[in-house]
Every structure is written in C-alpha cells, then in structure tokens.
Chain A
C-alpha cells in the first residue's frame, strides 16, 4: 500500500526550540493516531503536513506532493486545527460555506455542502447562529465541519476530541470511522492514548520531536508490557501486605518505603495485579488506605519507552 504521508529525516525548529528533531515515518491509508505528550511535536508535524510551515530539514510528501503553498494538494486536504479560532462575525453555515467557496464551489453548491457537513457533525440546529455564541464543543465541531465539507482524500485533525463531551466524542469517532469507510484517510493527534485506541489500531508515537513507536496499538502495548508497572501503596501493616503479595507470579519487586506504612510494588502484569489485589489485601488484613498507579498515563508509557 502506498504511503499517504512520507517523512524522511524531517526537522523543524522554532529558534532554538526543537519542534521536530529527526523524524522518519510513513502513514498508510486509513485512520492513524498521532500520539505523544504535550510538546512532543504533534502540532508541528501536522502544520508541516498541511503546508502551514516548511521543514527546516528533511523531506515531507503528503499524497505524493510537497505541502507548502501547494494549491493542488489543498484541494484534497482537510485540516482541523487545534486552536479555537473561527471568524467570529459569521454563522457556522457562512463560515463553512465561505471556506468552501475558496475551493472553487459555486455559492449554491458550497451552501449545500456546508449544510451537509454541519449536519454530519451534529450542528444542524445551530448552524445559522453566530459562532461567537457557540460552546467550546460546538466550535470544535464547526472546525471539523470545514475540514470534511469538501470531501477531502485526507483529513488531518489536531486534537479533535479535546473539549468534547462524551456523547460528542462518540459521535466524532463515528464520523471519523464513516470517513474512513468512504475511503478518506484520517490522521488525528492526541495526547490521550485510550482516545486513539477507541478509534484505530494504527498509531504513531512521537516524543520530543522523534519517532518513538509505530504500528498497531496491540503491538505497542506488548512492547510496553515488557516493562514492569509500579504501584504505590499505603497500609496499616505494610510488612503483612508485602508478605501476602510476594507469592503472586507477576510480582517483580516489593520495597518498603521510608515513610511509615508505605510500600512500592513492581509488577509485570498490571491487569492481573489489579484483579488479585483486593482479595489478597483483604485476606491479609493489612488495612490498605492508599493505592496509586501512574502507569496508565501516557507519560508513564513514554517513560517506559524512553527508558
């Protein structure tokens, strides 16, 4: 399958700050999640993909074209930016329609497409209201509507789920799936791993402007699971709790903390630990009063991957 986005040794700096270091990656058609913690370079990469910025080094092609100032490419691209910015004097319908008109559509065609896109994102009731009266989620959906209205081959969405309530999130995910079914490729960025997991199997993880991992979520998870997960516990009788936990197969180490009543457990299988813990702790009568596991966060995943 040919790559829709191909980056080779891609670099971009903001003065002395590295936006992207030396990124080489390929995106296949379909839905791909671009995942990384804040400041990883996701937005910079997306701005390079849509031609808002030019690479400082390396090569980048999107749908086989160089993006910066490429009008032919922009016909086939839809971009939903992260920044909450719209033309405040317009209604949602005018906003999407006027942007469509810039793509060469007649007023009538543009209006029809705008209405259809706004309906698709669930804004049919609000489309004739000024955008400055929209909620954050409605504004986000308006940005999505302008990105999909012209039927692009590739939609690039920068943190599209931020600010959406759970129902809108589900609808947006369904929208992306629908786009993919229609043959449109989608690249979405997020710093929340499970957001991407809900939508696609394919992901690209970047960190500090460099590629960290890519492939299916399952493969990356397997990669992550080789590293032990850490759990911090507080108990009335930590020694008794440690003794009760030690026989479990997946426990790698147990350390008693310097503060009284604290202990830290490292496990190879966090899911098994979670299911076994309550029973073991209750049977031991250790009086557990604190349980903290940071390992579900994306930052922890990245910590594991970067060692």
Chain B
C-alpha cells in the first residue's frame, strides 16, 4: 500500500484507538474544570455585583482576556503536548512504530484525537460565555460571537499543534510550549509595534476585531492596535498550521525515539 492511501487509513485507526482514552484522561477532566471558568466568570459578572447591562462588554473581556489568551493556549498545550510525548513517556511508542504504518500517522492520529476533545471543550466554554451574555441586555453581536469563538477554536488548533510538534522534538516539551504560550506570546502580543506580528495572538485577534477594529477598542485595557483583515489573518494562520503539521510529520518520521528500558 502506498503512503497516500496508507496515511489516512492509519491516521484514522490511531485516532480511533486513542480518542476514548484522551476523552476520559485526567488532562481532559481537568480541562473541563478549566473550560468552565469563563462561563462561571461571565455569570458572576452579570449576576453578582455586576451591571446586567453589559453583555457585550463581559463577552469581549472574558472572551479575549480569559478564553483566548489563557484557556485556549493552556488547554492547547496540555492536550497537544501528549501526541507523541505521552507515548514516549509511557514507552508504548515501540508498538505503532514497529507496525507497517507511516510513522506520521501516529502523530496525526493522536493529535487529531486531542484536537477533537480540545475543540469540544473550547466550543462549550465559548458557547457558554456567549449564551450567558446573550441573555443580558446589550448582548454581543452574532458576528462578534462567531468571530471570537472561531478565533478560539483556531487558537486551539494552533497551540495544540505547536505543542505537539514541540513534544516531538524535545524531551521535556511542555515547559517550552508553556514558555512560548505564556512568556513569549504574552510579551510579543502586548507590546506596541511590529513585534506583535510574531505572535499567534495578533492574527487570532484580527479575526474578531471587526472591520474598523471597534471590538478591540471596547477593550480599554489594551493599547489600540492596527490589525490585519480577517481573511488575511486566517490565511496566515492556516499556512502556519500547515508548516507545523509538515514539521511534525517529518520529524516523527525521521527521529529516533530513545526509550529507557
């Protein structure tokens, strides 16, 4: 069987093999608690001590500050990092690697299983915040909800993929992925100037700021910024994802994973 037909078949089998285990893993269970926090904050902001007349404001603040900037990267890193790293840590990688399948299918199948779980969590979290704020007066616009939830899902794809690739390359990848997501990204994305364009957050923010950047201006705590239009941003994010996928597949195909006995 050639690589073109074998890769999707093996990827699907690996995906199925690990989906259930990923969905009930401790990471995913912790992820449920973590994903519940933005809706909880939204509920508190609108119902306890807050002003019920600020649905859109609550949605944007929690959506950007908590969901997009913390929850999506953190869950992306924690669920994505395990794609290959979990197999090497558990020393089970020998089994798929001594089967007649492309090695890249192990990376792809396991990452896709993580991505599905991650997407469900992020979607539930985003939809939860949206549902709570939509019921308040002056709710967020459907475009803003779509844009922000879409950006969050895309953030999940990119952060989990980036973490998965880091997990393939480095032995202790999680700390590097966390360092990137929470130290470099935070620094790059929030300092004025062109350095922002080196962060994923810049392109993710571009997806929901609106044509005139009105959604961003409503977040007074951030400096005003000039963003790309949504389609150019999503294009660049897609290209980044494709590059990461290629790096992951090539590395896992060529790398020797030395396991301790």
Interface residues of A (CB under 8 A from B): 14, 43, 50-54, 68-69, 71-72, 74-75, 77, 79, 81-83, 85-89, 98-99, 101-104, 146
Residues of chain A lying within 8 A (CB to CB) of residue B21: 87, 89
- Is residue B47 contacting chain A, with contact meaning CB distance below 8 A? no
Which 9 residue pairs of A and B lie closest in terms of their CB atoms, listed nearest first?
Answer: A85-B91, A102-B99, A89-B21, A71-B100, A74-B100, A83-B91, A75-B100, A79-B98, A81-B94
Asked whether A89 and B20 contact (CB < 8 A) given A83-B261, A98-B13, the answer is yes
- The answer to whether A52 touches B253 (Cβ under 8 A) is no
CA A52 to CA B91, docked complex, whole Å: 12
Q: List 26 A-B contacts (CB under 8 A).
A: A43-B261, A52-B94, A52-B98, A53-B256, A53-B258, A68-B256, A69-B254, A71-B6, A71-B102, A72-B100, A74-B98, A74-B99, A79-B94, A79-B98, A81-B91, A82-B261, A83-B91, A83-B259, A83-B260, A83-B261, A85-B94, A86-B92, A88-B90, A102-B13, A103-B99, A103-B100
Interface size band for B: 20 to 34
- The answer to whether B13 touches A101 (Cβ under 8 A) is yes
- Is residue B97 contacting chain A, with contact meaning CB distance below 8 A? yes
Residues of chain B lying within 8 A (CB to CB) of residue A104: 1, 100
CA A52 to CA B94, docked complex, whole Å: 7
- Is residue B103 contacting chain A, with contact meaning CB distance below 8 A? yes
- Is residue B96 contacting chain A, with contact meaning CB distance below 8 A? yes
- The answer to whether A14 touches B90 (Cβ under 8 A) is no
**For chain B residues 202-261, which have a beta carbon within 8 Å of chain A?**
253-254, 256-261
- Chain B residue at minimum C-beta to C-beta distance from A70: B100
- The answer to whether A54 touches B256 (Cβ under 8 A) is yes
Interface residues of B (CB under 8 A from A): 1, 6, 10, 13-14, 17, 20-21, 24, 90-92, 94-103, 253-254, 256-261
Residues of chain B lying within 8 A (CB to CB) of residue A72: 100
Residues of chain A lying within 8 A (CB to CB) of residue B14: 102
Asked whether A102 and B100 contact (CB < 8 A) given A85-B92, A89-B20, the answer is yes
Residues of chain A lying within 8 A (CB to CB) of residue B98: 50-52, 74, 77, 79
